[in-house]
Structure 1
Amino acid sequence: MVKGSKVKITILETSDIHGNILSINYGNNEKRELGLCRISTLIKKEIEKNSNRILIDNGDLIQGTPITYYYARIDSEKENPVIKVLNYLNYDAAVIGNHEFNYGDNILKKVIKQSSFPWLSANIIQEDTGREYTGKAYIVKEFEEGIKAGILGLTTKYIPNWENPNHIKGLKFQDPVEYAKKWVKILREVEKVDLVIVCYHGGIERNIDTGKPIENLTGENQGYELCKKVDGIDILLTGHQHRLISGKKINNVIVLQPGSQGQNLGKVEITLEKTLDRWKICDENCELLSVEGVIEDENVIKLVKEYEDKTQAWLDKPIGKIKGDMTVKDPMEVRIKDNPLIEFINKVQMEYSGADISNTALFSNQSPGFPSDVTMRDIVSNYIYPNTLKVIRIKGRDIKEALERSASYFEKYKGGEIKVNSKFCAPKPQHYNYDMWEGIDYVINISKDIGERVVKLEYKGKPLDMEKEYEVVMNNYRAGGGGEYTMFQDNEVVKEITTDVSELIANYILERGTIEATVNNNWKVIYD
């Protein structure tokens, strides 16, 4: 090849698909602009433009929707539906994410076997053999003119802090930075690749522009550190955080993260130019391609029709009964005094976490509650987010501060109807940022000024100790400070339950058959 020749390569990334194949909301079967069926259309268009392509999934692929739950827990005889789609799209590789382990080792091994592409993870090691769990740390893909691209897979090392120990028995989760140093060197010096792409199921732990930490540096996310400490990386494909990152560089490394649920396809376009002795990047473009307005691929819909039909039938099959009333008639009423639905969700969180204090929210004013005969569709209609749980250790003053934040949901009462603070309504509704608690007794007086509304706060019959530490279970969004609950940030995570809360609720009902709607009236909202 003569000096000055150029070759363009397109790298396409999906990440954190979480089982979203079809463009629907399983709570009501309404259309949503997301999913692999729309991503497929985008992928095909990009391949038409440039046949020199690399197509990677960056993890958290096989868990997260009723169709994947039904497959894993009820009918896993056939090929996994998500893998069936990726095989159809001719993916080059996938990376192990933390949620790949949620259904257990048997399901994951079956997924790996069914895939027509390799699964990569250089830093998940089998204790007995010392080999990579998936059998592969990297792949090398060759293009025209002999250009070679090395693709290295890495996984967040933080998985043992979340996952069921039985699901990861015999595995060691090593430091991705140290393993990247080893394998990038091999790719450069042994494989003689011209382009190094690191696919890391983990996120960016620091502000990309300033380098300041944006989270407690536990090692869950080490993308910034990878770029700073590992020589020889050209592109870092990230995930795990569900962020939208494009057009950014860290230490001259191109960084990409395409969000979640198949709402965007990540794209990096690289042009390599031949110099005297090697190929060198001379041009680059990094962007996120939204599926908004993109037509669904009918072939993908047909591929999973049998699975979807069975899932829909299962969603409408009763899984248990409610004795009493757990329906939602008035969302405001649910938020001003203890309610059977909220108390039940808090009980579930406490049961599976072992914590004796819990908080949760009524996420939407459209939440219907549970009818007397509960189906899975009822569960996903009420618990609408793919949250997991964290138990964090916080002080009594943090609990009080969080209650004051929740109490700001209401406008100061001056007579008439109770009204919602406009800050919780615009620019978008934020009803999910008002929490209700179990395991403590409290009273909120909305006639008082914001910040001074918690007029009673007790734990086991005594005033809550502001300096004592308590273990509290809440969803992962809230535990990270989401919704301006900054008092929860950077606290010790005692335990993480990585199964979706909707699955925990379903399991709780299935195990017991009949659930009694109860209210212990541990909290209320009052006014003068």
Structure 2
Amino acid sequence: MPHDRVSITILETSDVHGHIVPIQYADNTEAPVGMARAATYIKKMREKDPELLLIDNGDMIQGTPLTYYYSKYRNHLPNPMITIMNHLQYDCATIGNHEFNFGMGVVSKAVSQSFFPWLSANILHEVTKESYFGYPYTVKEVNGVKVVILGITTHYIPNWENPAHIENLGFEDALLSAKRWVQFIHETEEPGLLIVSYHGGLERDPASGEPTEPLTGENQGYQICQEIDGIDLLLTGHQHRSIAAYINQTYVMQPGCNGQSIGRATVKLKRSGNSWMVEEIEGEVISLENESADEEVMDIIHFQEIETQKWLDRPLGEIKGDMMISNPMEARVKEHPMIEWINRVQMKAANVSISNTALFNNFSKGFPQNVTMRDIVSNYIYPNTLTVLELTKEDIKKALEQSAAYFSLDENNNIAVNTRYEEPKPKHYNYDMWEGINYTIDVAKPVGERIIDLQFKDGCEEPYHVVMNHYRAGGGGDYSMFKGKPVVREILTDMAELLAEDLEQKKQITAEVNNNFTVINSGQMI
């Protein structure tokens, strides 16, 4: 006799970003991250509930030296992340924005090696308008219940990604696509449980509904919950947050990042005639800090890990002077030798005299006296290529004002980081520091009026050729003044490789700055 009540367990990973081994690659110290720890928890849960659903929400195959080394030098072998996902019997995965970082060849190969479908209803063939990866959604039967999982990806990808990596792709608005597909699924599949796995986050506070970021369309999770009926469980990601809560009638979950935690939802259903109704959903984000690394997973990537470690330890050259970072805030308010060097390498590679770059996070330690590849990829953490844009003085001024919004004044009238760049997700990478021009940021002035003493070199006239990473050149980070600007040239070698080549050629780099910019608070000046 069939049961009138059942429960279904859903486990969600998201934004793992290539982490497998529980270490920090900068120094190989132990860290509470990685799929090896997650695997231990997943396997324990499978023993309790063999029919659980295991779903990844995207940004799986990029983010560590191991995945970089694989994609650049070992991609004739099986993708280590996919091998582990196959081993753990994932039911499906959603395409994330970082899946494209190494180009379509790498992501397409990853999809072809997977024993499970990769979902994205709104990433389309540019011409045919059909789902590029073939699966808008997948259907599973769990405990006698028909479960449909729809995949949606933030459509903001063209604002960040190298255009060469997303050729022939179209990105439909995630909200509009979800509306259409949810209606279609209810009409044609009549599911007992509908899950939407959206690689995107929440643009508003889950409780108050107040905006937590500019409403650009990058994150539409809150709007999806407000405007689309019929979604039982919305799995989110992209923002690296920990969320488990109802918004309107939809339960929303987001499980952090880097394999530090995992989302678990228990859905309780009741039979109603020939169909099922969701009675209740309970969820939580579970820390994996106390889990040990699964030996089978560690064995799977053993040899690739050894090769990666050898590559990381390759000596490149030495630094004369001090290029270490002890205080990331100081490295942003006063020019740091590492930023100076990165800008100089960009200018050399692009053959231009103006450049900008960022200190991507607060974990960069800078470069020691003897530099290895490990130091390069630990400080320059993204597989960025370079783009040269043709800009006016006004464009540059607007971009500098955008960067200047990174700062605020705290209650003691000291220069601090604007909370918008720290919550709900750290975005230190959206503060640029420029070379080839002179300028001052006065944090005491209103946002949009902070750039003073902007000076260009004698003989340098408009239009200006400026080199920056491709993410910024596409307008990423709300730098809308760069969108649609003429592209002078593209340098398609990764910045990590350009830095390594520069150091290997010169053998020695002097840690120096020319102090072409400064950040002040005129309100404290006498």
TM-score (norm 2): 0.79
Instruction: Tell me the residue number matched to 1:415.
Output: none
Q: Does 1:157 align with 2:147?
A: no
User: How many Å separate the matches in 2 of 1:182 and 1:362?
Assistant: 37
Note the C-alpha offset of 1:172: 0.9
Given that 2:152 and 2:174 are in contact with CA atoms closer than 8 Å, whether structure 1 keeps it comes out as yes
- SS of the aligned residue for 1:307 comes to helix
Given that 2:12 and 2:262 are in contact with CA atoms closer than 8 Å, whether structure 1 keeps it comes out as yes
Q: Does 1:66 align with 2:70?
A: no
Given that 2:323 and 2:367 are in contact with CA atoms closer than 8 Å, whether structure 1 keeps it comes out as yes
Note the C-alpha offset of 1:370: 4.4
Amino acid at match of 2:130: R
User: How many Å separate the matches in 1 of 2:376 and 2:56?
Assistant: 29
Q: CA RMSD in A?
A: 4.3
Match of 2:456 among 455, 460, 480: 460
Instruction: Tell me the residue number matched to 1:519.
Output: 513
Amino acid at match of 2:43: K
- SS of the aligned residue for 2:482 comes to strand
Given that 1:24 and 1:31 are in contact with CA atoms closer than 8 Å, whether structure 2 keeps it comes out as yes
Given that 1:67 and 1:307 are in contact with CA atoms closer than 8 Å, whether structure 2 keeps it comes out as yes
Instruction: Tell me the residue number matched to 1:281.
Output: 278
Structure 2 unaligned regions, length at least 5: 390-394, 420-425, 459-464, 485-492
Amino acid at match of 1:131: E
User: How many Å separate the matches in 2 of 1:178 and 1:364?
Assistant: 36
Distance 1:96 1:351, change over 3 A: farther
Amino acid at match of 1:308: E
Instruction: Tell me the residue number matched to 1:509.
Output: 499
Note the C-alpha offset of 1:421: 9.1
Q: Deviation string for 1:360-399 (max 9, x for gaps)?
A: 4496698252435x32211244457999999997648837
Q: Deviation string for 1:232-267 (max 9, x for gaps)?
A: 211110111111111232x20111111111111011
Given that 2:91 and 2:116 are in contact with CA atoms closer than 8 Å, whether structure 1 keeps it comes out as yes
Given that 2:154 and 2:218 are in contact with CA atoms closer than 8 Å, whether structure 1 keeps it comes out as yes
Distance 1:490 1:131, change over 3 A: closer
User: How many Å separate the matches in 1 of 2:10 and 2:454?
Assistant: 56
Note the C-alpha offset of 1:76: 1.2
Distance 1:472 1:395, change over 3 A: farther
Instruction: Tell me the residue number matched to 2:168.
Output: 170
Distance 1:387 1:43, change over 3 A: farther
Q: Deviation string for 1:305-350 (max 9, x for gaps)?
A: 01100000000113x4457546339769978865432311344567
User: How many Å separate the matches in 2 of 1:450 and 1:57?
Assistant: 45
Note the C-alpha offset of 1:404: 6.8
* Segment drifting more, 376-385 vs 328-337: 328-337
Amino acid at match of 1:514: Q
Q: Deviation string for 1:198-218 (max 9, x for gaps)?
A: 111111122222333322222
Distance 1:493 1:100, change over 3 A: farther
User: How many Å separate the matches in 2 of 1:362 and 1:104?
Assistant: 22
Note the C-alpha offset of 1:161: 1.4
- SS of the aligned residue for 1:269 comes to strand
Instruction: Tell me the residue number matched to 1:104.
Output: 103
Amino acid at match of 1:164: N
Note the C-alpha offset of 1:25: 0.4
* Segment drifting more, 220-229 vs 208-217: 208-217
User: How many Å separate the matches in 2 of 1:125 and 1:423?
Assistant: 37
Given that 1:8 and 1:52 are in contact with CA atoms closer than 8 Å, whether structure 2 keeps it comes out as no
Distance 1:329 1:63, change over 3 A: closer
Distance 1:6 1:365, change over 3 A: closer
1:441-520 pair list within 5 angstroms: 441=438, 457-460=453-456, 492=480, 494=482, 504-512=494-502, 513-515=504-506, 516-517=509-510, 519-520=513-514
User: How many Å separate the matches in 2 of 1:411 and 1:388?
Assistant: 38
Q: Does 1:148 align with 2:138?
A: no
Structure 1 unaligned regions, length at least 5: 413-419, 425-429, 463-469, 481-487, 497-502
Note the C-alpha offset of 1:165: 1.4
Instruction: Tell me the residue number matched to 1:398.
Output: 401
Amino acid at match of 2:283: C
Note the C-alpha offset of 1:472: 10
Amino acid at match of 2:215: L
